Amino acid sequence: MRHVNQGIPKLDAKALITGRPAYTDDLAPANCLVVKVLRSPHAFAKINAIDTAAAEQLPGVACVITHRDVPRHRFTMAGQSFPEPSPYDRLILDRLVRYVGDPVAIVAAETERQADRALKAIKVDYEVLEPVFDPAKALDHPSIIHPEADYHVNHDIGNDPNRNLCASGEFCAGDLAAAFAAADVTVDQTYETRANNQAMMETFRTFCYMDHSERLTIVSATQIPFHVRSITARALGIPKQKIRVIKPRIGAGFGAKQTLVSELFPALVTLKTGKPSKMVFSRKESFTASTSRHAMRIRVRLAADRAGNVLGIHMDTLSNTGAYGEHGPTTVGLSGHKTMPLYNKAKAIKFTYKVAYTNTMSAGAFRGYGATQGTFALESAMNELAEKLNMDPLDLRLKNLVAQGEVMPGYYGEKLNSCTLADCIRRGKEMIGWDANHPCRQISKTKVRAVGAAITMQGSGIPNIDTASVEIRLQDDGFYTLMIGAADMGTGCDTILAQMAAEVLCCDMDRIIVSQVDTDHSPYDTGSYASSTTFVTGTSVIKAGKALIEKMITMAAGTLKADPGDLEFNGTAIFAGSPDGKKAITVEALARKLAVGNGACLSATATHSSPVSPPPFMAGFANIELDLETGKVVVKDYVGIVDCGTPINPNLARVQAEGGIVQGIGMALYEDITYNSAGKMMNSSFMQYKIPSRKDIGDIRVAFESSYEPSGPFGAKSIGEVVINTPAPAIANAIANACGVRLRHLPMTAEDVVMGLHARER
């Protein structure tokens, strides 16, 4: 293949690296009103009164908006297809504020300084209520976080707002009681993951203006332009056709931008004032008033026979969705459904879950989306089971691994058509030097090197829901415009989709141009999340490319007076017999001809929605150095072996994997959103919330064991999310191998290791 499976540079590489203005704030008009939000200092309170008179009188202030002035339609900010599974539990501004940071008033002024001054001049009288922060205590707590009568759900998600229960459910297959009755060995442990911040380098930002036809235009750093359109329409109570959403280049998202965060405030200001406005979140605001990863407490019960056959798995998850239910009912599902199927040989599986509201910041989407949390729990439990069985953890996995051709009851009954996970494990085992280093090697009096491993799976899009349309137009010099609605957030999907188009249309990459997403022009796409873009949108690209070739052949047949069945297409020409022969026309000549008086400019549209979501797989291996005196853990070497089907662009796939692994290491060792006893976030800057720097990271080595997914474009599956899941359990395993301390909560700090060592001595 000429373009697919090639490490082609990203289309926007040179422009972005050399600093060309291309991001939201670079494009905002200079005369935008500056929008700022006054936020609640209380974790739970009722607003008795707000006095905005003084603020409104200040110079430069264009408007001050409070809960009295906003539309009363409850909605969710989660970017999901309608009818959304997340509950409608929000207003743009509400009388009840549910976490420290919840918006209380919106201010727009001519300058930032003026807006800041106006914020300070607003007087709010709060009636402080008793907050609840622990999800286990929140259930049936006397403080009800969502008492509103107009709370609404679109689906039966097992919720009960009066109990602070956002969602609950149960799934089982097989006879779990029988599996445990037959077991020789069992494990029963509870694991805890923490809220993490996505921490993309570009904070949330949006600017808005009214256009020449009195429509609201929203330019925003978002992964979900079409969902922004529909959520804004609902929240503002205006028809969708009055809204246009444009997505410029964005400084990454990792799921954070799969939820509306900065959009609604300037949208409301522009609608009210008629003036352009913009809102740029500070880093602190990005930390304290967006969405984090759902913190989860997951109990895992495993049953196995003496030979190491896993007989039964039960996972029970309690998830903290915080003040609002964005992605609450859905992330939790992945903690079980995208973990247990790894051990599909188990005769019985059971998954139970509850999602609780609390008075912390709302949780939301973050790369891995619940599978990450579940993987830490299940993979840690598997490593504990291996220890009990006195078995090599890799052998235990190989013995129980799901295999190609199997139907997976725990994975929505899907059949697995591509999987090289066993090869991933074997290859990684060799690369990390497992046999020489397992379980550990003392390298000095105080330092130990040890290895640990974990495996994981994810999905490729949401089956039967994610929908991607693509249009390819033949332009008048014989080049093509690829119109997509999928949002490149730095992942390189524009490039990858162009590679697929060039492959189908047999042309050079420079004959494909990819348009930015604009809901007025781009074909519909649910957006870039759930690892859907390569798999779902990619398939649409192939369909549209083939359809366009058909159309070109039909038009050429008319011109050449030939039977379309006799014609061939080779990328540069359409011909019968030989491209240099009599019956031939170049694509360029055909395109030119069509542009003049022919009434037929060619374009083809295709839409794809997949009935299945084939899982990509990965095996991750950590080689750590642990200091027995200080407890400090350094990841010296991390090996990740990935099965993403055919990597469409191996360079970009590799960098996705490397980046995901490093985020996973951050999550494993230090990233942790903490709140004080009043519910105030204690680490709201990069000074306090440390993400890995280049000095924290040892070698990261990635290799591919490519399978071929028959339902994917050119055999591809997804890559974006699966790569973040293995570090936490692999490092936990390595720590246990190094010093015998099993850490069952994240992050695993030096202090935790030392405390564990002391506890062992006692």
Binding stretches for another protein (CB under 8 A): 7, 9-10, 12-14, 16-21, 23, 26, 113, 198-203, 249-252, 254, 282-284, 489-492, 649, 651-652, 654-656, 658-663, 685-687, 691-695, 697, 699-700
Q: Which is nearer to another protein, 227 or 249 (CB)?
A: 249
Kindly state whether residue 687 participates in binding ligand FES, applying the rule CB under 6 A: no
Structure tokens at 409: 């009851």
Binds 16: which of another protein, ligand FES, none (CB < 5-8 Å by kind): another protein
Q: Which is nearer to another protein, 254 or 351 (CB)?
A: 254
Binds 436: which of another protein, ligand FES, none (CB < 5-8 Å by kind): none
**How far apart are the two ends of the chain, measured CA to CA in Å?**
63
- Other beta carbons within 10 angstroms of residue 142's beta carbon come to 6
Please, which of residues 605-634 interact with ligand FES by CB under 6 A? none
DSSP E strands, 110-256 = 123-128, 165-173, 185-193, 205-210, 216-220, 243-247
Rounded CA separation 467/543 (Å): 14
Strand pairing category for 573-575 and 568-569: antiparallel
Task: Output the smallest distance, CB 671 to another protein, in A.
Answer: 11
Q: Which is nearer to another protein, 249 or 608 (CB)?
A: 249
Binds 26: which of another protein, ligand FES, none (CB < 5-8 Å by kind): another protein
Kindly state whether residue 201 participates in binding ligand FES, applying the rule CB under 6 A: yes
**C-alpha 514 chain-centroid distance:** 23
Task: Output the smallest distance, CB 263 to ligand FES, in A.
Answer: 21
Q: Which is nearer to another protein, 378 or 716 (CB)?
A: 716
Binds 661: which of another protein, ligand FES, none (CB < 5-8 Å by kind): another protein
Number of H helices, E strands in the chain: 20, 30
* Cβ proximity of 460 and 485 under 8 Å: no
What does residue 68 show for φ and ψ, rounded to 5 degrees?
-70, -20
Q: Which is nearer to another protein, 265 or 287 (CB)?
A: 287
Task: Output the smallest distance, CB 689 to another protein, in A.
Answer: 10
Instruction: Report H helices in 292-420.
Output: 328-337, 371-389, 393-400
Kindly state whether residue 596 participates in binding ligand FES, applying the rule CB under 6 A: no
Binds 203: which of another protein, ligand FES, none (CB < 5-8 Å by kind): another protein
User: Three-state DSSP class for 542?
Assistant: helix
Q: Which is nearer to another protein, 382 or 669 (CB)?
A: 669
Q: Which is nearer to ligand FES, 252 or 757 (CB)?
A: 252
Structure tokens at 70: 């906003």
Q: 395, 289, 400: which is closest to 344 by C-alpha?
A: 400
DSSP E strands, 129-214 = 165-173, 185-193, 205-210
Binds 697: which of ligand FES, another protein, none (CB < 5-8 Å by kind): another protein
Task: Output the smallest distance, CB 259 to ligand FES, in A.
Answer: 19
Task: Output the smallest distance, CB 633 to another protein, in A.
Answer: 18
Q: Write down the residue that tokens 């993979």 correspond to.
A: 379
- Other beta carbons within 10 angstroms of residue 581's beta carbon come to 10
User: Three-state DSSP class for 635?
Assistant: strand
Task: Output the smallest distance, CB 201 to ligand FES, in A.
Answer: 4
Number of residues that bind ligand FES (CB under 6 A): 3
Rounded CA separation 671/747 (Å): 6
Name the β-bridge partners of 636.
Answer: none
Q: 376, 377, 388, 423: which is closest to 308 by C-alpha?
A: 388
Q: Which is nearer to another protein, 94 or 202 (CB)?
A: 202
DSSP structural state of residue 65? E
Please, which of residues 475-494 interact with ligand FES by CB under 6 A? 490
Q: 33, 26, 37, 90: which is closest to 208 by C-alpha?
A: 33
Binds 323: which of another protein, ligand FES, none (CB < 5-8 Å by kind): none
Please identify the residue of the shown chain whose CB is closest to the bound ligand FES. Answer: 201
Strand pairing category for 123-128 and 45-51: antiparallel
Out of 185, 252, 465, 547, the residue judged to bind ligand FES by CB under 6 A: 252
Task: Output the smallest distance, CB 659 to another protein, in A.
Answer: 4
Binding site residues, ligand FES, CB under 6 A: 201, 252, 490
